[in-house]
Amino acid sequence: MHTPPPFPASRPRRLRRDAFTRELVREHRLHPSDLIYPVFILDGHNQVQDVASMPGVQRLSIDRLLGVAEQCVALGVPVIALFPVIDTGLKTPDGIEATNPDGLVPRAVRALKDRFPQLGVLTDVALDPFTSHGQDGLLDDSGYILNDATVAMLTRQALVQAAAGVDIVAPSDMMDGRIGAIRSALESQGAIHTRIMAYSAKYASAFYGPFRDAVGSAKNLGKADKKVYQMDPGNSDEALREVALDLAEGADMVMVKPGMPYLDIVRRVKTEFRVPTFAYQVSGEYAMLKAAAANGWLDHDAVMMESLLAFKRAGADGVLTYFALDVARLLRQG
**DSSP state for residue 203 in the 8-state scheme:** B
Angle between the 237-249 and 178-188 helix axes, to the nearest 10 degrees? 20
From residue 263, give the alpha-carbon distance in Å to each of 201, 203, 221, 260.
12, 12, 28, 5
The Cα 209–Cα 69 span in angstroms is 26
From 91, 202, 226, 270, active-site residue: 202
Amino acid at 324: A
Nearest to 282 by CA among 178, 198, 202: 202
From 257, 270, 290, 312, active-site residue: 257
Asked if residues 33 and 316 have their Cβ atoms less than 8 Å apart, the reply is: no
Q: Respond yes or no: is residue 257 known to be catalytic.
A: yes
Q: Name every residue whose Cβ is closer than 8 Å to that of residue 289 and which is 6 or more positions away in sequence.
A: 298, 300, 303, 304, 307
Q: Respond yes or no: is residue 226 known to be catalytic.
A: no
What is the chain's alpha carbon radius of gyration, rounded to the nearest angstrom?
Answer: 21
Residues annotated as catalytic are: 202, 257
